[in-house]
Amino acid sequence: MENVRYEILPEIAKLGHVALETTDLEKSLWFFEEVVGLEKTETVDGVHYLRAWGDFDHHTLSIKEGPEARVDHIAWKAKRREDIGNFANLLREADVEVEEVKAGTEAGQGDAIRFQLPSGHNFEIYFDMEKPAAADPKHKSILKNQPYKAWRKGISPRRIDHVNIGTNTDASVITDFLQEKLGFKMREYLKTPDGNLGAGWLSVTNLVHDIAVMGRPDIKSSHEIHHLSYWSDNAQDILRAADILADQGIPFVGPGKHGISQAMYIYVVDPGSGVRLELFSNGYLIFEPDWEPIEWKADEMAAGFTFWGEQSGMKPEDLTTISAGEPLKSPKKV
């Protein structure tokens, strides 16, 4: 992949996919395909590529078996093809090690780059991605603007929504990197009693957050993921999800409504990998170009995290994470 000098700052368009490794592939596939209801695009070299019924790209989640449960990388789609080389230049100028990933390395995907946040979280940026029709014509929607029939199986969320990552180091180092190097905008944030950043909700779209960053000294490493999220159309979909999970005997947290984002939620853990999934709906959108980030203080977070409903994050099991990266390849960049 040829490096090009950027003339304008490159931009990220949206969250693309999460690449999950699980220690129990059978359980993870059962959970995400049958219970959650994601559709399988294809399986290549032991990697299962999935997407929701309203996701057009080849995949928004990939799952393969591995020796430990972890997220190999979190991927983002750039706005333009030339942004891939431009991001590579920008990151290298900031002394970030960049790996070029050739087209076809990941099924359905074109050239990409991979790199680490200062925390060790693994990120990928791509532009080209196949948009295949439903593999089984019987699963195809008659609507030309929708790849699959909705509600064919399981909870049936419409699309991928966001990720929530955690670190046991200074969260502001991550949020500064996201804003200064990748173009994210801070939408809401938590300030701790000592004046530091406790958490930040950032986006490149009109969503309140495409990514959330949590600073938690109690978690295992500097590069963890708390959850990935899929979005459903309305509150009734979340209540329907609760029925489906309860009928399968799968424990969950919620339903509830966040103050931050104003969205309804259910949290449930994949029994194969231990990664947490947030089922998400409603919330508000941001269209103002001069949006001022909203500050929350620690004593306001009872309403910030849970405006009403079952409180999230109140029990130790609600706070578990799995790795979403690795130690920095170039420790001098810490």
How far is C-alpha 213 from the chain's CA centre? 11
pLDDT at 331: 52
pLDDT at 7: 61
**pTM for the structure as a whole:** 0.94
**Which residue reads 């080209």 in tokens?**
128
Average the pLDDT over 54-73 and give the result.
97
Report the interhelical angle of 171-182 vs 83-93 (nearest 10°): 130
Residue of higher predicted confidence among 329 and 234: 234
Q: What pLDDT, in 10s, does the model give residues 145-184?
A: 999 999 999 999 999 999 999 999 999 999 999 999 999 9
**Using an 8 Å Cβ cutoff, are 18 and 93 in contact?**
no
- The closest alpha carbon to 220, from 325, 315, 312, belongs to 325
Q: Which domains does the chain have, with CATH numbers?
A: 12-139 (3.10.180.10), 159-323 (3.10.180.10)
